[in-house]
Amino acid sequence: MHDEIQTPAVLVDIDVARRNIERFQVYADSHGLKVRPHIKTHKLPVLAEMQLDAGAVGITCQKVSEAEAMVAGSSRLSDVLITYNILGQDKLRSLVALARKVRLAVVADNATVVDGLSVAFSASGETLDVFVECNTGADRCGVASPQDAADLAGRIAAAPGLRFAGLMTYPPVGGAARVQAFMTEAKALIEERGIPVPAITSGGSPDMMSAHLAPATTEYRPGTYVYNDRSLVARGVCGWEDCALTVLATVVSVPAANRAIIDAGSKTLTSDLLGLTGYGHVLGRPDIAIDQLSEEHGRLRSDGDIGLKVGERLRIVPNHACVVTNMVDAVYALQAGQAPQRWPVPARGKIV
């Protein structure tokens, strides 16, 4: 299986990815929702272009350096939302430079971030779009209440160099009703102040097909949907045949009848569990559990004879596709009728 590729390797089935992209775009179009995919899952400018071709309005990035890498990789990526509180002189300088190249927006959930953005952008002569991040139950970032959202929106609207762009949330799974309630109330409070709310953006692949259940939402930011993974199969969002990203691994040892060791460990599959048991799904072998990873070894167990041979190759759907992309300098793109192509991953490791 793909003998020309050294293992472990990350494979991406481009035809499956395209189908995944188009499937959500059709859904979003039918509900009048704009799509702004989060590129953290693929970190590839060429796949972001494929998302634009399908109808996406722009991209979402999580860090400034990630946005820089994406923009450097394609002149077509000209509309970027960074869904992060940005702090620090170096990052603010990078942000100003980026704003001179593309249509840029960021989020903020506190006054310190807003004030830092305002100082940097008013000095630069540029104007930055800033969304208020709202906590709709995921308990990560985000202002705690619609009233707090309105207060911060007011601060942004009044801040030199900034423009209030709307409301953003990364909701908990099953959180559509809470998104709708929070956003409706926050929007009314902000509009009462005479400030328009141009956009309300939400995200998350697990619930993407329920985005219309929070109709206040104008834009959606799915990430994992482009590749899918074991966590989304477990949630019933897709099937194994919809998983575009797999890890190709070689059996390097069969030290016992019910145990085999592969050359992919936590440095490839990662230790992300996302609530699951085990570290991935061996395609075609639902009887096998990947029950332990060390950095370069994955341990496979079966109840009976595992029936694998040293040298045999397997394809594994990881628990979480996005973090696997981040582990490799390049992925191998598979397309019908073509030899696998090695694609460098420009936005890998962009943590600042």
Place of tokens 């029950």: 291
Among positions 12, 98, 130, 322, the unique one binding its own copies when judged by CB under 8 A:
322
Question: Do the beta carbons of residue 69 and residue 42 sit within 8 Å?
Answer: no
User: How far is 240 from 46, CA to CA, in rounded Å?
Assistant: 24
* Per CB under 8 A, 264 contacts its own copies: yes
* Per CB under 8 A, 228 contacts its own copies: no
User: How far is 23 from 14, CA to CA, in rounded Å?
Assistant: 14
CB of 259 to its own copies, least distance (A): 7
* Per CB under 8 A, 323 contacts its own copies: yes
Question: Do the beta carbons of residue 81 and residue 36 sit within 8 Å?
Answer: yes
Q: With respect to its own copies, which residue has the nearer C-beta, 28 or 143?
A: 143
Q: Which of the stretches 18-26, 179-187, 291-299, 331-339 binds its own copies when contact is defined by CB under 8 A?
A: 291-299
Among positions 292, 302, 307, 340, the unique one binding its own copies when judged by CB under 8 A:
292
CB of 125 to its own copies, least distance (A): 24
Q: With respect to its own copies, which residue has the nearer C-beta, 57 or 323?
A: 323
Q: With respect to its own copies, which residue has the nearer C-beta, 15 or 90?
A: 90
Q: With respect to its own copies, which residue has the nearer C-beta, 66 or 242?
A: 66
Q: Which of the stretches 26-34, 85-93, 188-196, 212-220 binds its own copies when contact is defined by CB under 8 A?
A: 85-93
Burial class (CB within 10 angstroms; exposed 0-12, middle 13-18, buried 19+) of 39? buried
Size of the site for its own copies (CB under 8 A): 59
Name the DSSP letter for residue 171. Answer: P
Among positions 253, 276, 307, 340, the unique one binding its own copies when judged by CB under 8 A:
253
Among positions 19, 31, 100, 140, the unique one binding its own copies when judged by CB under 8 A:
140
Residues 11, 20, 229, 225: is their CA dihedral positive or negative?
positive
Kind of pairing between the strands at 330-334 and 341-344: antiparallel
* Per CB under 8 A, 139 contacts its own copies: yes
| φ/ψ (deg, to 5) at 281 | -120, 120
Q: With respect to its own copies, which residue has the nearer C-beta, 241 or 329?
A: 329
State which of positions 42-71 bind its own copies (CB under 8 A).
62-63
User: How far is 14 from 230, CA to CA, in rounded Å?
Assistant: 18
* Per CB under 8 A, 40 contacts its own copies: yes
Place of tokens 């930055």: 128
How large is the C-alpha radius of gyration of the chain? 22
State which of positions 296-315 bind its own copies (CB under 8 A).
296-297, 299, 309-311
User: How far is 156 from 173, CA to CA, in rounded Å?
Assistant: 29
Q: With respect to its own copies, which residue has the nearer C-beta, 33 or 254?
A: 254
Question: Do the beta carbons of residue 345 and residue 331 sit within 8 Å?
Answer: yes
Q: With respect to its own copies, which residue has the nearer C-beta, 8 or 161?
A: 8
* Per CB under 8 A, 135 contacts its own copies: yes
* Per CB under 8 A, 39 contacts its own copies: no
* Per CB under 8 A, 87 contacts its own copies: yes
What are the E-state strand segments in 187-306?
Answer: 199-203, 219-221, 245-256, 259-262, 280-282, 289-293, 298-301
Q: Please name the helix (run of DSSP H) or strand (run of DSSP E) that holds residue 203, with its range, or none.
A: strand 199-203
CB of 317 to its own copies, least distance (A): 17
Burial class (CB within 10 angstroms; exposed 0-12, middle 13-18, buried 19+) of 324? buried
Helix, strand or coil, per DSSP, at residue 331 = strand
Question: Do the beta carbons of residue 161 and residue 139 sit within 8 Å?
Answer: no
Q: How many CB atoms lie within 10 A of CB 266?
A: 17
Q: With respect to its own copies, which residue has the nearer C-beta, 339 or 351?
A: 351
Residues of this chain that interact with its own copies (CB under 8 A) are 6-9, 40, 62-63, 84-85, 87-88, 90-91, 109-110, 112-113, 135, 139-144, 250, 252-256, 259, 261, 263-264, 266-268, 270-273, 292, 294-297, 299, 309-311, 322-323, 326-329, 349, 351-352
